[in-house]
Chains A and B, each alone.
Chain A
């Protein structure tokens, strides 16, 4: 073996573990505002992810244990679980996770080789295949007409049974972003829409607190040097800029920049999804470019697209560009700066 004979005590599993930890505040906020369903979803996705990962490693003749321990499958599972409605049917969660791990990760060569963010591929597949289930988000408990306990959540997720006499509409609602879009279509003034009960001070009720929790987790990751500033800053700045521009130009039809930052997957996207090292660029300039592009696309898809949020598709679209971005943003080598 050649030098160096020293190495820093870091590892892939440690990195993944820290990312998982950084997501805990947001998960707690989610459970606090929307009930325990999200915990069930996360557990189910995690178990599926680990099983599929182990199976695929076995099939691909790779050592199972070290790769299972790297935590990347868990991370994919959590990201996917947090991107889909918390009380989806069990088969939807299993399908999405299995697809993410088996197809978009392992068929492309496993850890480190997949060009697309697996969690986002899983999300995209689900939203195309099961548009109805994928838009049944839980309403914040403070707004919903009814509450579901853990047992009732399990009943619904696994057996599709709701408590007697309860209607699904009593607990679900469209997301704040979606509601905004449909209501705007119906020519309602924006101020009136945003004063609906599902909206909070900045974004959706509850959702804005989750955004804050993601922000906190993201700052922890920055402090731990797990991620670099370029992606979150460029992504949030570009969303802020473009939504601000639209808002300034036509405030009657476009929500303000802070609403966009606090809504949907902006924060989880900025700190947890777009910062996935495997599917993102490696050069600092490339990261800026990549995240800016993703921010603009996110806004456009949100505003003009048919889907509730744009982060997933924006991520996937920018993933395609990564090799190109990397190739064209190589920093100058020592001594060869212009």
Chain B
């Protein structure tokens, strides 16, 4: 009995120190970690997380100043990835920061647009083109759907339209049947 306890605790001690060593030895360096987190974040640059863009949020996560569940565009899938990367528990999306929704892109009603350039200044990725006093257009390929241009528009001519499903981006669904194992 006694030797069993001794062996077990010895083993526990050994494994524990091994784990401790590993966590020091393989600790990811600060900057590299920020890069890795930033690579997971969706780069919508919408600031819903409470930081002025994805990279500042990545830095905040790396420094432990922010939770991993503050990014609505990334959604649960990204939170899982962050949890895996950082070795922490998964948390569901914090509703205070918004809800996950299908990706949309901004659309400018070109008849209403007065060419005020306010939206251009708001766009974090320069996805709006247009000169002062001329109507503006969204480069929908580049638009991240951050919605930051909606508010500044004085004539409310910008709306969000969901990205259409086409033959080229259509996805096969997972088969669904009632009787599943596991």
Chain A interface residue count, Cβ-Cβ cutoff 8 angstroms: 10
The verdict on A62 contacting chain B, using a C-beta distance below 8 Å, is yes
Q: Which residue of B is nearest A66, CB measured?
A: B179
Stretch in A29-37, A84-92, A109-117, A216-224 touching the partner: A109-117
CA gap between A111 and B179 in the complex, in Å:
12
B181 near A113 (CB under 8 angstroms)?
A: yes
CA gap between A62 and B179 in the complex, in Å:
7
Q: Which residue of B is nearest A67, CB measured?
A: B179
B181 near A109 (CB under 8 angstroms)?
A: yes
Our count of residue pairs bridging A and B at CB distance below 8 angstroms stands at 15
Tell me if A's interface is mostly helix, strand, loop or mixed.
Answer: loop
CA gap between A110 and B179 in the complex, in Å:
12
One of A1, A63, A110 near B175 (C-beta < 8 A): A1
The verdict on A2 contacting chain B, using a C-beta distance below 8 Å, is yes
Interface string of B128-153 (1 = CB under 8 A from A): 00000000000000000000000000
Query: Which residues in A have their C-beta under 8 angstroms from that of B181?
Result: 109-113
Within 8 A of A (CB), among B166-182: 172, 175, 178-179, 181-182
B182 near A109 (CB under 8 angstroms)?
A: yes
Query: Which residues in B have their C-beta under 8 angstroms from that of A66?
Result: 179
Query: Which residues in A have their C-beta under 8 angstroms from that of B175?
Result: 1-2
Within 8 A of A (CB), among B62-120: none
Query: Which residues in A have their C-beta under 8 angstroms from that of B179?
Result: 62-63, 66
Query: Which residues in A have their C-beta under 8 angstroms from that of B182?
Result: 109-110, 113
CA gap between A66 and B180 in the complex, in Å:
12
Query: Which residues in A have their C-beta under 8 angstroms from that of B172?
Result: 2
- Among B172, B178, B181, residue most surrounded by chain A Cβ atoms (within 10 Å): B181
Query: Which residues in B have their C-beta under 8 angstroms from that of A63?
Result: 178-179
Q: Which residues of B does A touch, CB under 8 Å?
A: 172, 175, 178-179, 181-182
Q: Which residues of A does B touch, CB under 8 Å?
A: 1-2, 62-63, 66, 109-113
